[in-house]
Amino acid sequence: MSSALTEIPELRKVSLTRPIAPPSHRIRQDRDIDAWKKTTGYKDYCLWVVRLNSSVIGQDIPTVAGTPRSQAVNKVVELLDELKKWVDEIPPYGDKQRFGNLAFRDWGKRLQNNAAQLLHKTLPQEYHPAIPLLMPYFMSSFGDFTRLDYGSGHELSFAVFLMGLTLVRFFKPTPDEERHLVVTVFGKYLEVTWYLQDVYRLEPAGSHGVWGLDDYHFLGFLWGSAQLRGQSSIAPSSVLNPPLSPTNLYNMQVSRIYQLKIGPFFEHSAQLHAIATGVPNWDKVNAGMLKMYEAEVLNKRVVVQHLPLGGLLAWD
């Protein structure tokens, strides 16, 4: 997954005029990763991540937020606001468990019962044939309702959900729209998932969030480092000196770590500390993030084995 700013191809368009078989779980063994990396779906997703990354280079949150946004972006933000409102309507049980409040299962049950209706309300009629193809990703975007955890695999599901909406052209693959997908839509998604993690005390998926840069997420750091590219006056080491200005997703992610964790930064966030002290500029940070995301998320069986493949995420 290259960060080179040469001409980036446009994401292909998928027609909904003919039936498309729904996605299914295809990765069960390590050797299946090699097949996954050769598929059209894998290439589409890597291209989509790079396109969004390129769109926000040097673009801070206030700048993007001040530009007009499409009705499609507004509709998905409304959808996420609705899901956040449910958290207040389904309070946590009064137990003393450190991780995993069982009320999260009630929230998940409401999502399961209402997901199709929500997507029908969000998408115009012409996109309704895509709903069965999008549903598996939407349903797994917010955590596991059995294990009561959340990790970068769930974040990946939401990203694939957004990519699918771009493939069918509900979202348009233009720089302005792609900037809003990062700053406005993904920014709102972070807000919702952070709220879910806090209220229901969700456990990090995997071994203490080993596949994320914090315990839960990755993409905010990746796209946030793109926002900081070209900022010669702000060194990567600046994140070691809080408080941080919330003008990009990277600072927001690191600020959340300071909010949740105590003790020396180099102890609880060793990888981020190594980046802050060992990488000279944001161009190199961002390029390294792209490579790391592909290696540590997309090519890790323990993460992508839960991702349904086929359908819009074409397996061919």
Q: Kindly report, residue by residue over 193-231, the tens digit of the pLDDT.
A: 999 999 999 999 975 556 678 999 999 999 999 999 998
Question: Tell me, what's the pLDDT at 139?
Answer: 98
Q: How many CB atoms lie within 10 A of CB 288?
A: 15
Express each pLDDT in 256-281 by its tens digit: 999 999 999 999 999 999 999 999 99
Residue type, 205: A
Over residues 91-99, mean pLDDT: 83
Query: Which alpha helices (H) appear in the chain, and where do they start and end?
Result: 32-37, 40-55, 61-65, 71-89, 103-122, 131-139, 152-167, 175-180, 187-200, 219-227, 249-260, 265-268, 270-278, 282-293, 301-304
Question: Tell me, what's the pLDDT at 81?
Answer: 98
Q: How many CB atoms lie within 10 A of CB 284?
A: 16
Question: Tell me, what's the pLDDT at 6?
Answer: 53
301 — pLDDT class (breaks 50, 70, 90) = very high
The one-character DSSP state at 124 is -
DSSP states of 218-260 = SHHHHHHHHHTTT-TTS-GGGGGSSS--SSSHHHHHHHHHHHH
1 — pLDDT class (breaks 50, 70, 90) = confident
pLDDT at 4 over 70: no
Question: Tell me, what's the pLDDT at 5?
Answer: 47
Nearest Cα neighbor of 139 from 304, 307, 315, 310 is: 307
Over residues 280-290, mean pLDDT: 97
Over residues 168-175, mean pLDDT: 97
Flag whether the pTM goes above 0.85: yes
Q: Using the CB atoms, write b or e for 180-209: b if 16+ within 10 Å.
A: bbbbbbbbbbbebbbebbebbbbbbbbeeb
Q: What percent of the chain has pLDDT over 90?
A: 92
